[in-house]
Amino acid sequence: MKITKLFIRLIILTFVLSQTTFAGPPFTTDDPQPVDFMHWEFYVSSAMGFTSNESDVTLPHFEINYGLVPNIQVHLLAPMDYNHSPDGTIYGYSDTELGVKYRFINSDDGSFQVGTFPLVLVPTGNKNTNLGNGYTRVYVPIWIQKNAGKFTTYGGGGFWYNPGQGNRNWGFAGWEAQYDLSDIVTLGGEIYYQTADNINSKSNEGFSIGGYINLNEHNHILFSAGKTLNGENSTTGYLGYQLTI
């Protein structure tokens, strides 16, 4: 386990030092590629996290992305959150996520891209029932992507502004690689590292594997499963349906 942790640290450190560096569903790491101009993405999904004594699941969350102008998309994520712990079970609407993805470098053939995807978490959830943070949180990352035929890799990282009593501002760095096995199936995996987000937590490293099933041009199934390697030692997952128009 120690060798595995060291190996992942070295990989992440290599990417961070060699290029400034978060793609999206079904992974935690993001990419710089926005939705095409005047096109839509709709998601109905569930993001899951399980520890030995707690389950935290979006059941479901709804996500919409729209290509507002070339190289820019606007983003909305509205989550229904389910949390089960020894203190009880809670279910309700959580904090709303808003964002703008801007790709500012795109090679002529689209094989190399760089962009940013700032996010704002609006405190729409009830803090008294632990469904919301109670404060506005902001994330500013940089993402890099390289395509080579059926192979795609992307990654990056950024900084979270995370106010509130006991909270800490924290950083994230991750990298993903995927391969198109066919026009229907794409498989990939990611590794990531994040610093502690509150005074009682620790930094965390993790990985996940997953992919996409293209039912047709417009309908897609997304999935992933993973695990953190330290900190709370949690199991993570993602299952979603995507409609592209």
Q: How far is CA 192 from CA 36, 113, 155, 159, 239, in A?
A: 27, 20, 9, 14, 19
pLDDT in tens, the chain (245 residues): 444 443 344 333 333 333 332 348 999 999 999 999 999 999 999 999 998 888 999 999 999 999 999 999 999 999 999 999 888 999 999 999 999 999 999 999 999 999 999 999 999 999 888 888 899 999 999 999 999 999 999 999 999 999 998 999 999 999 999 999 999 999 999 999 999 998 988 888 999 999 999 999 999 999 999 998 876 678 999 999 999 99
pTM value is 0.86
Q: Taking a C-beta distance cutoff of 8 angstroms, is the pair 222, 209 a contact?
A: no
Number of Cβ atoms within 10 Å of the Cβ of 238: 20
**DSSP readout, 76-99?**
EEEEEEEEEETTEEEEEE--EEEE
